[in-house]
Amino acid sequence: MTTQARASQWINSAEALQEWLAPIENQACLGMDTEFMRRDTFYPQLALLQLEHAGRYALVDPTAFEVGTLLQDVQHRRALVTIMHSASEDLEALGQLLPNGPDRLYDTQIAASLAGLGFGLSYRALVETVAGVVLDKGETRSDWLQRPLTESQRGYATLDVVYLQAIRQHVDEKLNTLGRQDWLTEECERLKQRGAGRHTEAQPQRHVRPAAEWPAEQQAMLRRLLLWREQTAREINRPKTWLLDDTHALSLAERPPRDRGELDQRTRGLRALRAAQREALHDVMQPPVSAEEIAATEPVLGLPQGEAKRALASMKQVVDTQAARLDLPAGLLCPRKVLEDYVLSRQTPALFHGWRGPLLAEALASRLP
């Protein structure tokens, strides 16, 4: 069955948004989605905010007025439950409006996974499962910053929040039967706490596996470069890879340029690395790596080999068995990357400090090499 467009209110002033939010009662449910653009910037450009409450739909233009104050007030003063689907990127786009995220988040994608409906299901797939409706994907790659939006864009955007309440009701029945509401609350809180990518990671080199066999001094230099890249990309609001991609960062850390001329030659073609940034990068690389810097750099983890690889296979079997017993996706119960890091570092993953701990911690610890 195909769907029909729903009427929505276009909101481009604080007064109109305040009037639309006024009927929402304490602890009510608010459906929310965003449209944003991320072509040539570090930060996503929020272009549209879609809201739903009690069958009313609003399309809010965040480029027309300051939305954050009203949104924070209704979220926290009324302790709302905000229903979103696959919210991680939306939370990042909402970073300026809701720095701490919604008061209480309900992510329907996570909820569906915990309810045994499938891992990483799209909103479109869930709508078809729950409501038997096939949504049109025609505006997926639209320019959401254009004004005015077309009727097709407005209809498409509105449908992104139309079925959130129905999905929640459907999934909650299964979660309540399985006794997994607390699991969902924990997962949604973890998603919020990740800060939607707004905070600088202290050890970015850990994700660059080609440096796993490098000496500690070179790994520390790589960390220095990646921290500079993150900070500078934020300051100039350009994608990190436009400034310094991993390939160039690895090359510079492994074999630092002798002078500014060599640096310029080896970094040609990086779109955001202008004269000022090249000068700053050159200055960043000049001081020798100190003992303190090496001590502060966590080692880059490679791929498990030998005994560690055998332990990883055994641990993966534990996860697969538990996942099958619980009718959960193994990737949700414990991602392979978490197991790899655990085998190599022997540091208990933060993931095990919650509901997963009683299910996995003891069995996995016993298989460490």
What does each of the 369 residues of the chain score in pLDDT, given as a tens digit? 556 668 999 999 999 999 999 999 999 999 999 999 988 999 999 999 999 999 999 999 999 999 999 999 998 888 999 999 999 999 999 998 999 899 999 999 999 999 999 999 999 999 999 999 999 877 777 899 999 999 999 999 999 999 999 999 999 999 999 999 999 999 999 999 886 556 778 999 999 999 999 999 999 999 999 999 999 999 999 999 999 999 999 999 999 999 999 999 999 999 999 999 999 999 999 999 999 999 999 999 999 999 999 999 999 999 999 999 999 999 999 999 999 999 999 999 999 999 999 999 999 999 999
Q: Which of 197, 218, 241 is the last residue of a domain?
A: 197
Give every CB contact of residue 199 below 8 A, 6+ residues apart in sequence.
none
Q: Rounded to two decimals, what is the model's pTM?
A: 0.91
Please say whether the beta carbons of 298 and 222 come within 8 A: no
> Is 352 within the bounds of a domain?
yes
Q: Tokens 């129905």 map to which residue? A: 166
pLDDT (0 to 100) of residue 77: 85
Q: What pLDDT, on the 0 to 100 scale, is given for residue 348?
A: 95
- 208 and 166 assigned to the same domain: no
Instruction: Tell me which residue of 211, 269, 224 sits closest to 245, measured CA to CA.
Output: 269
How far apart are the C-alpha atoms of 110 and 333, rounded to whole Å? 11
| Helices 306-326 & 336-345 angle (0-180, nearest 10) | 140
Distance of CA 37 to the CA centre of its chain: 15
pLDDT at 139: 72
Q: Are residues 274 and 318 in the same domain?
A: no
CA dihedral 8, 140, 84, 16 (to 10 degrees): -30
Are both 176 and 60 inside the same structural domain?
yes
CATH no. for residue 282?
1.10.150.80
Q: Can you give the pLDDT at residue 2?
A: 53
The token pair that represents 147 in the structure block: 């004004």
**The two structure tokens encoding residue 143:** 């320019």
The greatest distance separating any two alpha carbons of the chain, rounded to the nearest whole angstrom, comes to: 66
User: Which of 193, 190, 167, 171 has the alpha carbon at shortest distance from 181?
Assistant: 171
Residues 74 and 214 in one domain: no
Helix, strand, coil shares of the chain, percent, nearest 5, are 55, 10, 35
Residue 114: the pLDDT is: 97
Displacement of CA 89 from its chain's centroid (Å): 5
Predicted confidence at residue 137, as pLDDT, reads 76
Pick from 314, 163, 289, 133: nearest CA to 214: 289
Question: Residue 4 falls within a domain, yes or no?
Answer: no
Q: 3-class SS at 237?
A: coil
pLDDT at 6: 87
Please provide the DSSP assignment of 277-332 as one string.
Answer: HHHHHHHHHSSPPPHHHHHTSPPPP----HHHHHHHHHHHHHHHHHHHHHT--HHH
Q: Parallel, antiparallel, or unpaired for β 29-37 and 9-11?
A: unpaired
Task: Tell me if 243 is assigned to some domain.
Answer: yes
Asked whether residue 1 is assigned to any structural domain, the reply reads no
Residue 57's DSSP bridge partners are 52
* Boundary residue ending a domain (132, 165, 197): 197
At 205, is the secondary structure helix, strand, or coil? helix
Do 83 and 149 lie in one domain? The reply is yes
d(CA 30, CA 105) in angstroms, rounded, equals 10
Answer whether residue 300 is part of any domain. no
* Range(s) of the domain holding residue 246: 204-295
Q: The CATH number of the domain where 128 resides is what?
A: 3.30.420.10
One domain, residues 47 and 63: yes
Residues 116 and 184 in one domain: yes
Do 163 and 218 lie in a common domain? no
Query: How many domains would you assign to the chain?
Result: 3
Q: Which of 179, 197, 215 marks a domain boundary? A: 197
Residues 156, 174, single domain; the answer is yes
- Token pair for residue 194? 């990740």
Asked if residue 217 and residue 121 are part of one domain, the reply reads no
Within a domain: 278: yes
- Give pLDDT, residue 1: 57
3 occurs within a structural domain: no
Residue 2 in domain: no
Contact criterion met (CB below 8 Å) for 157 and 149: yes
Clarify whether residues 223 and 285 are in a common domain: yes
Same domain, 191 and 211: no
Predicted pLDDT of residue 195: 66
Residue with tokens 């919020």: 192
